[in-house]
Structure 1
Amino acid sequence: MTELHENHGQLTVNAAGRSWTLERPADLESLWQSMDENDPEAEEHIPYWVELWPATLALCGWLARQDLAGRRCLDLGCGLGLSALVAANLGAQVVGMDYEHGALYFAARNTRINSVPSPLWVRMDWNNPGFAPASFERIWGGDIFYEQRFFEPLENLLLRSLAPGGRVWFGDPERTVSSTVWSRFSRRGWRVRNQGQEVVPFEQARMTVNVWELFRPQ
């Protein structure tokens, strides 16, 4: 069960068996309103990373039940860093990847605040990833299929970066836009399993999140 509270710019969340404190500059609505509406690239830089999304919280619970000690792991779209920090606390060798400088800055701050071994924080565009082939035994991301155009570059990254026998985990809320993603992966030769649901409190409501596992047959 996860619980989330905010106080003076800090989020406190109970996840994966311990309490975490996460700093952020402001909430999504405040940062969004401060963006330059005339910036042609504004849509590519909407600060979704400042929120702690229910899919990430569900993923943290899943990660806590896995054997990650010593495994090479990649957190796609790491945001404030929580799921990468959970994995690092479990002994994983983690790379936290995000496209936004702000996300990586606060992820690094949150590493120090929570006194866990630091992941390697990397600024990278998943459309042009720079990882060596078969780099990671475990790859995950929370709520990252919120636009259909992300499917092709993300699958290409997985095909290149996942080690033989590796596993991919996605926390995904029940959104219309991502509802066909899992059958699409299946048609392309992936083994796809729904590993269960968690109902996570979010704002003044509750959101149902599925945890999906993907792997390539040997």
Structure 2
Amino acid sequence: MNQADCDFSPMKLAIKEDIRRVITELQNNLAAMDDENNCLLGSFQKIKEHFIQIQMAAANFYLHCYLSPYTNKNPEISISVQNMSIRRHGGLIVIQREDSLDALIHPGILLRAELTHSLLESIFFPGNPLHDGAVMVNRDQIVSAANILPLSDRYTGDKKLGTRHRAALGLTERSDALVLVVSEETGRISFALNGHLYPINTMG
């Protein structure tokens, strides 16, 4: 997917249509506020749920846009994180972009293997000696596994944020890398970029 694909993709058009639908719902609620007998709390809850769905769809859209210039293995990565999410196998996948990461990570085990979803999933299978660290991806290759990333200092006191998420934030605070995280506890998939964490829905 190149930049033109991102600009005119069906996914983007669907997100824009969802936003228009929410705007219409908000306008209808604004008009309905004049009727004091009309309780809008249920409607507000539905709008909130729609916002969350739009956010996740938008994050999925931007993830594809951010990855496409740097790897042709988007489908393999997507399949792997979906399968890991279903099985609740934790994962941490670093996609190198322009910045060198050599000075930022503690190197793990060199692999230099073609990126496939089956190889990614096997690396993060519980009990595999490599599953606790991060996989490093450069272009279409898994360069290494069991890499140790710098942790974000901003979230030291946040017990709800696991080590994988703090590591994803820590690396993206210091580089332009994109880091995918699969939560072992919940199965939720997120990606980190520029020191921010975004939940995504790759099944959408």
Q: Please, what TM-score do these two structures have when normalized by structure 1?
A: 0.31
Larger radius of gyration: 2
Structure with the higher fraction of residues in helix conformation: 2
Q: Please, what TM-score do these two structures have when normalized by structure 2?
A: 0.32
Structure with the higher fraction of residues in strand conformation: 1
